[in-house]
Amino acid sequence: MKHIYLKSKLYLLLGTLISGIVLYSCTKDFDKANTDPNSFPGSVVDPSFLLPGVYKASTLDPGMHERMTQLTNDIFAQYAANEGFSTQQGKTNDEWITSYYNDYHSRFVASLNLAIRLGKAKPYATNDLQIARIWRCWVYSRATDIFGDIPYFKAADGTGENAPYDKQELIYKDMLKELKEASAALSTANPKQGPGQDYVYKDNVDKWKKFANSLRLRLAIRVSVVDATLSKQNAEEAIAAGVFTSEDDNCMMLSNDNDFGWGNSYQYTYYYGWGSEGMSRSMENLLTGLGGQPFANPPAGAVVDDPGFAIPAAENPLDPNKNKFKSGIPSKVDPRGPLYFEPSSAASGANATARVIKGPGDTVTVDMSKRWHGTPAGLSSSAAGRTQYAIANQARFGSAFLKGNRPYEIMTYHEVCFLLAEAAQRGWNAGGNAQAWYEKGITASMKWNNIPDATITAYVASTNENTYGTTAKWGFNSGKTFNGQAADDPMGKIITQKYIALFPDGGWEAWADHRRLHLPILIPFAAPDPTAISSSNGGPGNFVKRITWPAIEAINNKIFYNQAVGQQGADIETTPVWWDK
């Protein structure tokens, strides 16, 4: 993909010189700059001017956010279900992946690498150099987590040459090193960044340090199963160096309607407006009953705790609620549930006089509105079209998230609390015990969603079980199992709460956690593509393990692609990445 890497340097550098922001346009006058970045030293091109465009595009580019976050990671994590694309059956969509892969190289990594080269060319220390290193680790971590081995050490390095695929193990070790070094090198004594360029922390060095350390903690925990020594050392060092201590430290990305032409509101209204983003059955099962709190603001006249009636089989037989049609709402639910997803309504397109098949020659008229229920993941194409599975007739993405100015949550304090809880549960020095961090994580998440204090207190003390038998109270164990897997042990509690707390922007993390630990409990896909999901017994093989590399790589980067296939084992969805053991 030599032409992509080469052009990206020309685009970014020209845009920087003209307008002070990253514009991707082409010119023949900067060949020398592409091959010799020192031709335009930092005194002419300030690295900080290369960063804003990457901040925005790598989080909120409309096409990437829709396809990679909402239609890929969210579907594989089962934050949503039945969106009608190949990912619903666990299959990579090559068009989406190719677009993301090209942007990852030519827009994100190329810009960051150029900023780093320019920063290193300066005769004095700068913070923008370290910030570029930190953001590059975030960008790289997302890419390697979905692909596995990727071009890293020589990717977009300014030579214009194709880069080899590096092993994920080496990538992770280098990212952990980069974050450690960059955090330590940040200093208030260094010159400030260009005015108005830091869209993330407004040139607050202390917050950048905390983000670098918190991201290092996230990546350290990611490798806990495959390399416990590396994980423990980096987790404890990151914690000691200083991670997030409140939601005020959150790493967020706030955009506006002019950033991408389509408008930032597109990020959050696309699904609701186009009839999508419905709750998955797995999410329903996790939230129902958990914490024992009453369903807040129920629709007037809604049926409560409907036992349901049998419908023709289409769902995974392991689902405790398989092949049932239920009306209404549950009486008890995690208080975040009705905020995350709202009951179906006439406004959302629900049919008040729908016909549902009960059996051969037997149909019944039902009211599809006032329902807070989810769709099973991975339905076959024929089953997905049945009335009872239509997105309009399910619980829908909450209106609280549909505000155009809602910031994208890159990393939050409540996530860090659950990372610390896991570290403590593993016996590491986390500055507190697992219970304390677990309860702080729940409290922070609840407050982030404006849940009243009295409700939080009752929730944390509750022994009410969800569908699988998981409870909120630390130290209590229902003793329940699901398909032979403990449903209420300490690690299960931590990851279940983390999964819930990271909604709606945390699908990338939720999918990674599930591959790493097979937690939280999720219902396997009902009718997956057999080339993407190989098992049917409810174990880890029932879920997508990775995303395939773009098909064009086998042509444009043939030699290195073939080497990568050999070192990783295969280029299919069933091949686990390095840390997924």
Do 125 and 7 belong to one domain? Answer: yes
Q: Name, in order, each residue with C-beta under 8 angstroms of 202's C-beta and a sequence gap of 6 or more.
A: none
Domain assignment of residue 455, given as a range? 413-501
Domain presence at residue 520: no
Residues 302 and 374 in one domain: yes
Q: How many angstroms separate the Cα of 463 from the Cα of each of 481, 497, 521?
A: 16, 14, 18
- The predicted pLDDT at position 499 comes to 98
Q: Tens digits of per-residue pLDDT, 82-133?
A: 888 999 999 999 999 999 999 988 889 999 999 999 999 999 999 999 999 9
Number of neighbouring beta carbons within 10 Å of residue 81: 29
What pLDDT is recorded for position 260? 55
Q: Looking at the domain assignment, is residue 261 inside a domain?
A: no
Q: Does residue 59 fall inside a structural domain?
A: yes
> Is the Cα dihedral 323, 325, 330, 333 positive or negative?
positive
Q: What is the pLDDT of residue 274?
A: 59
Q: What is the CA radius of gyration of the chain?
A: 24
Q: What is residue 244's predicted lDDT score, i.e. its pLDDT?
A: 98
Give yes or no: residues 387 and 424 share one domain: no
Quick check: is 122 in a domain?
A: yes
What total number of domains does the chain contain? 3
Which region, left, alpha or beta, applies to residue 322 given φ > 0 means left and ψ of -120 to 50 means alpha? beta
Query: Which of 501, 526, 559 is a domain's end point?
Result: 501
- Domain-ending residue, one of 400, 433, 466: 400
**CA–CA–CA angle 224, 229, 234 (5° rounding):** 75
Three-class SS of residue 280? strand
**Residues in the chain, pLDDT under 50:** 1-43, 262, 269, 272
Are 204 and 124 found together in one domain? yes
Q: Looking at the structure, tell me whether residues 109 and 247 fall in a common domain.
A: yes
Structure tokens at 97: 């992946």
- 285 and 426 part of one domain: no
pLDDT tens-place string over residues 498-543: 999 999 999 999 999 999 999 999 999 999 999 999 887 888 889 9
Are 352 and 453 in the same domain? Answer: no
Per this entry, what is the length of the chain? 581
Residue 268's pLDDT is what? 52
Query: Which tokens sit at 514?
Result: 């599930």
Residue 530 lies in a domain: no
CB 280 within 8 A of CB 377: yes
Considering the domain architecture, whether residues 181 and 232 belong to the same structural domain is answered as yes
Q: Where a domain ends, among 400, 426, 445?
A: 400
Please give the pLDDT value at position 62.
78
* Residue among 22, 69, 49, 48 at smallest CA distance from 408: 69
Are residues 39 and 148 part of one domain? yes
- CATH number of the domain bearing residue 47: 1.25.40.390
Q: Angle CA(444)–CA(510)–CA(503) in degrees, nearest 5?
A: 45
CATH of the domain at 439: 1.20.120.840
DSSP state of 399: G
Report CA dihedral (187, 192, 198, 202) to the nearest 10 degrees.
Answer: 70
Cα dist from 569 to 396, 531, 574, 575, whole Å: 40, 15, 10, 7
Other CB atoms within 10 Å distance of the CB of residue 153: 11
Number of Cβ within 10 Å of residue 235's Cβ equals 28
* Whether residue 393 is found in the same domain as residue 439: no
488 inside domain: yes
Measured at the alpha carbon of residue 566, what is the angle toward residues 560 and 567, in degrees to the nearest 5?
90
In a domain, 514, yes or no: no
Please indicate, yes or no, whether residues 341 and 462 belong to a single structural domain of this protein.
Answer: no
Helices 127-147 and 110-121 pack at an angle, to 10 degrees, of: 150
Contact 296, 335 (CB under 8 A): yes
The whole-angstrom separation of Cα 371 and Cα 62 is 30
Looking up tokens 């091949």 gives 575
Within a domain: residue 383?
A: yes
Cα(210)–Cα(310) distance, rounded to whole angstroms?
Answer: 52
The closest of 171, 149, 147, 226 to 545, measured between CA atoms, is 147
* Bridge partners, residue 325, by sequence: 309
- Do residue 332 and residue 221 come from a single domain? no
